[in-house]
Chains A and B, each alone.
Chain A
Amino acid sequence: MNSQKPEIIDESGDKYKYGFVTDIAADSAPKGLNEDIIRFISQKKGEPDWLLEFRLKAYEFWKNMKEPTWAKLNYDKIDYQDLSYYSAPKQKVAPKSLDEVDPELLQTYEKLGIPLKEQEVLAGVVAVDAVFDSVSVATTYRQKLAEQGIIFCSISEAVKEHPDLVKQYLGSVVPYTDNFFACLNSAVFTDGSFVYIPKGVRCPMELSTYFRINAKNTGQFERTLIVADDESYVSYLEGCTAPQRDENQLHAAIVEIVVNKNAEVKYSTVQNWYPGDKDGKGGVYNFVTKRAACRGENSKVSWTQVETGSAVTWKYPSCVLQGDNSSGEFYSVAITNNHQQADTGTKMIHIGKNTTSKIISKGISAGFSNQTYRGLVRVAPKADNARNYSQCDSLLIGSHCGSHTVPYVENRNKTAKLEHEATTSKISDEQLFYCEQRGIGEEEAVSLIVNGFCKEVMQHLPMEFAIEAAKLINISLEGSVG
């Protein structure tokens, strides 16, 4: 490797000489994906050799992989050579005041109840400040957290500051060979967060990527790694609760969680990427691989997600229950409207004894959207007394949408008890009539009913998220009635 290295740097330097001269250009790689691009990313980030090697191996493997077609998704073929793999492909000109911001966007903020100052930040009016703000916020937290030994930083920083930890866990839950999108991510991931909770520590606050990801506009290929050591606890929030008009075509993220003995991790996501316009033009393709490995005894992981955005969602947060008595939970609300498509669900792999898992999935389809719950519950031969309960309910609003349920249940242990239930229904006219009779408008009535339908999941969200998520649901369903 070492003997080859200078040669290749020369080569890439040659090729991209003009592209790298100015500061702005230096931040974005030319379109296309090849070894040079990966070396360029790695070099830009000042990564050690082992990580570059990891990326190159992933790329080598990815070249021979085929994009999966089994999901019930219908989207234009993605040209992977027509994407830029470093930095945001589009440099946005920041608006100077709120007057210049898209009024539709402002309306949405108002409905979400976001204060003016924050509105400015989110719309990118004071972009620089926002970056500074969030960095400083992060820094203050970091100090506070560091006192307890908690590491919370971007993954690029972690590679430099805590290489041993990253090296030990990166790719250990989601190997680069896992699937097409995970493999792509492994080759080109640009940023993400790293969390390490040491033994016996209960993280005193909720960790969030809310501002950092938004403001920095990092993004297409995030990679998150969370390690919870013995007897620790952390609650982690991800995503943006305010709609970001992100026009990136492709998001392929990975989240890896390692949970050791007696530890617990709660991971909550509110995903609200740009869903495309009313006719289904534009919008984000969201291909995410999320997996948690419950390695130790009595470990626990809980995924809660509220999915309202993206034109195409492909996401299956999974739990590998290796440790005895470990447990996994999955709570999901997915809402699709207009021409959105979502194929989402979970995997619960029971390997250890007395492992339990619970799946509550609520899907709401409206407009012309299509939604699929796809889940797998697998009980290995040695997983004595494994227990799973799955419930998938779908609500259809309008006669042009679709809702599908595809659960896979594989049981290889007789002591396992597995139950799966699914129902599909619509908002009944009686329910609506009842509300309207009492002076509640139709749209309000629908959101009331939908919120009731989702309640089981929403109550698992952290407080501040729950309120915004409930409002988000109302916004997502706007115009779907009548």
Chain B
Amino acid sequence: MGGLVQKVKLFGEYIPWFQAMRDKGAITFDELGLPTPKTEAWKYTKLRDLNTDDLVIEPSNFLSEMRVTAEEACGCHHEDGGCGCHHHHGKGCCCGHHHEEGDCHCHEEGHVCECRQKLQVPFDAYVIHFEKGKMIPPFPDFPRGVEVMNLMEAVITEDAKEYLGKVADIKLHPFAALNNAYMEEGIYLCVHKNVKVDKPIVLINHTKSGEENIFFNIRNLIVLEQGAEAEFVEWYNYTGAVKSRYFANLVNEIVLGKNAKLSHYKLQDEAFKANHIALSVVKQKADSNYHNFCLQRGANIGRNEVKVLLNDENASAEVNAAYIMSGWATLDTTTDILHLSPRTYSSQLVKGVVGGEAKGVFQGKIHIAQDAVQTEGKQLHRALLLSDTAEIDVKPELEIFADDVKCSHGAASGELDENQLFYMQSRGIGREEAKQILIDAYLNEALAKVKNPEIRAWLSDYAHAPQE
């Protein structure tokens, strides 16, 4: 197992129910092991390049903060003065920095947090920053009815106890089991009954060049109570020229109450040597709506898996995605939509552009349980191959146990239409430019599914063709 299984001291070992979950995660991962090409769910995404031997898990911030706080040596400006940081010193400082080294540069006078300065979210939003999988305070001020904590805080207050670890079934997902074992970083987001959040909540994880061989886990728990509405954006960002190698293992557990509506967007823009494996599991109650869009454009192995359980009547989900890649990457989009009640609806549109020696993988599954009559499930995957060495592997799957349903799926792949290129060239558009226009138009169909126009524009900027 190499560097995936390590002995690290994490915060919260004294909380029995929580530590039990971590232990179970470790045991389950040990039992399941890493997926092999024979594992059906990982048939096409080969993990042989994962190379986990030299991966390092950085020491827990929570523990180091506690130690430092006890010695009253925290040099941070926690009082005020713009920091606005909600540091809970009694429970363990959640500031993402190693204070014992005395170099908390972010909050020193004259310094503006470097990471935040670099990246501007081009739309009005509540932004939460992470660095290398560890949260950097402060939190923005959220309006009433929106509760955001770091995960450990929610564990201590037991706010997270009801759902944490109960949405994602770790027996089916080895990497989720591994994530369980290292559960510590992440956020707990709860939107109270009938509260509509006015701006998107954005979680940015920054990784910089030179940060080699780090292995980090993030676990987010998102709960929307009855009638609540929110937009949640995940942005995995990498800056720097040197291609670092690191491994991000992420799990989101999402619970939507009756009539709740969540729009969930994601931009995966990791370093080209990094590996990014993410799982989102969504449990939906009656009349709720889950709207998901993920754009993947980075990483060596990038996998975004979305599993939606439509548990009650009239729940609906829309899971769309796009991927664009070149180089050696493998980008995997896996969906699993389970229609477990009558009159549930789902639709999926996934489009991809694959160049270089890259490999695009799409595995989509629609499951309709026996009593889930009058349901509708739609799925479409289309991919463009740009080079002779690119590869696309698709497995759209229907599993239907009820007769009164409408279900369809489609998959197609091919290259750019020579006639269309010729048409544009004959009108004075250069071949390369014409290609670009066609690729943009191709992906646009999927991007058009993004409801929020500002977020759509932001994602569109990233959805450009890879350089050949």
Contacts and interface: CB of A to CB of B under 8 A. Distances in A.
Nearest to A424: B407
Given A414-B387, A426-B405, A409 B411 contact: yes
B40 interface: yes
A399 B373 contact: yes
A396 B400 contact: yes
A161 interface: no
Nearest to B360: A411
A85 B388 CA distance: 50
Of B370, B385, B387, the most chain A CB neighbours within 10 A belong to B385
A423 B388 contact: no
Given A381-B388, A399-B404, A410-B393, A422 B398 contact: yes
Interface string A397-417: 111111111111111111111
Nearest to B388: A414
Contacts of A409: 392-395, 411, 413
Interface residues of A, number: 34
Contacts of B158: none
B247 to A, nearest CB: 27
B396 A407 contact: yes
B209 interface: no
B192 to A, nearest CB: 40
A206 interface: no
B147 interface: no
Contacts of B387: 414
Nearest to B359: A412
A414 B405 contact: no
B398 A404 contact: yes
Contacts of B403: 396-399, 401, 426
A356 interface: no
B235 to A, nearest CB: 31
Given A404-B399, A413-B388, A418 B414 contact: yes
A421 B410 contact: yes
B411 A412 contact: no
A49 B134 CA distance: 70
Nearest to A421: B410
B256 interface: no
B412 interface: yes
Contacts of A417: 412-414
B189 interface: no
B397 interface: yes
Contacts of A404: 397-400
A411 B370 contact: no
Given A407-B411, A412-B391, A417-B414, A422 B370 contact: no
A414 B400 contact: no
A226 B319 CA distance: 48
A424 B395 contact: no
A413 B388 CA distance: 6
B306 interface: no
A382 to B, nearest CB: 9
Contacts of B392: 409-412
Of A398, A412, A415, the most chain B CB neighbours within 10 A belong to A412
B415 interface: yes
A422 B396 contact: yes
A422 B391 contact: no
Contacts of A402: 399-401
B389 interface: yes
A419 B392 CA distance: 13
A400 to B, nearest CB: 7
A425 interface: yes
Nearest to A422: B409
A416 B413 contact: yes
A186 to B, nearest CB: 24
B452 interface: no
A394 interface: yes
A212 to B, nearest CB: 39
A70 interface: yes
B36 interface: no
A443 to B, nearest CB: 17
Contacts of A406: 395, 397-398
B411 A408 contact: no
B324 to A, nearest CB: 15
Nearest to A420: B411
A462 B393 CA distance: 36
A351 B400 CA distance: 33
A97 to B, nearest CB: 44
A418 B412 contact: yes
Contact of B385 (A394, A411, A424, A425): A411
Nearest to A389: B412
B370 A381 contact: no
A482 B391 CA distance: 49
Contact of B400 (A397, A413, A415, A424): A424
B93 interface: no
B286 interface: no
Contact of B370 (A400, A410, A414, A423): A400
A396 B401 CA distance: 9
A152 B395 CA distance: 41
Contacts of B391: 410-412
Contacts of B383: 411
Given A409-B413, A414-B390, A420 B396 contact: yes
B394 to A, nearest CB: 4
Interface in A363-403: 381, 394, 396-403
A420 B370 contact: no
A69 to B, nearest CB: 11
A403 B410 CA distance: 16
Contact of A403 (B44, B386, B395, B400): B400
A386 to B, nearest CB: 10
A397 B400 CA distance: 12
Interface string A194-235: 000000000000000000000000000000000000000000
B408 A424 contact: yes
Given A413-B385, A422-B409, A399 B396 contact: no
A210 B415 CA distance: 46
A477 to B, nearest CB: 14
B106 interface: no
B406 interface: yes
A415 B415 contact: yes
Contact of B397 (A394, A405, A425): A405
A399 B370 contact: yes
A421 B399 CA distance: 15
A472 to B, nearest CB: 22
Contacts of A396: 400, 402-403, 405
Given A413-B388, A418-B414, A424-B407, A408 B395 contact: yes
B372 to A, nearest CB: 10
Contact of A416 (B370, B408, B414): B414
Contacts of B385: 411, 413-414, 416
B342 to A, nearest CB: 11
Interface in B207-266: none
A408 B397 CA distance: 9
Nearest to A376: B395
B398 A425 contact: no
Contact of B410 (A397, A414, A422): A422
Nearest to A415: B415
30 contacts: A381-B389, A397-B403, A399-B370, A399-B373, A400-B370, A402-B399, A403-B398, A404-B397, A404-B398, A406-B397, A407-B395, A410-B392, A411-B392, A412-B392, A413-B388, A414-B390, A416-B414, A417-B413, A418-B413, A418-B414, A419-B411, A420-B409, A421-B408, A421-B410, A422-B396, A422-B410, A424-B398, A424-B400, A424-B406, A425-B407
**CB-CB nearest 10 A-B residue pairs:** A414-B385, A396-B403, A409-B394, A405-B398, A424-B407, A420-B411, A426-B403, A417-B414, A414-B415, A402-B401
Given A407-B394, A412-B390, A414-B385, 10 more contacts: A396-B400, A410-B391, A411-B391, A416-B413, A418-B414, A420-B396, A421-B408, A422-B409, A424-B407, A425-B405
Interface of B: 40, 44, 370, 373, 383, 385-415
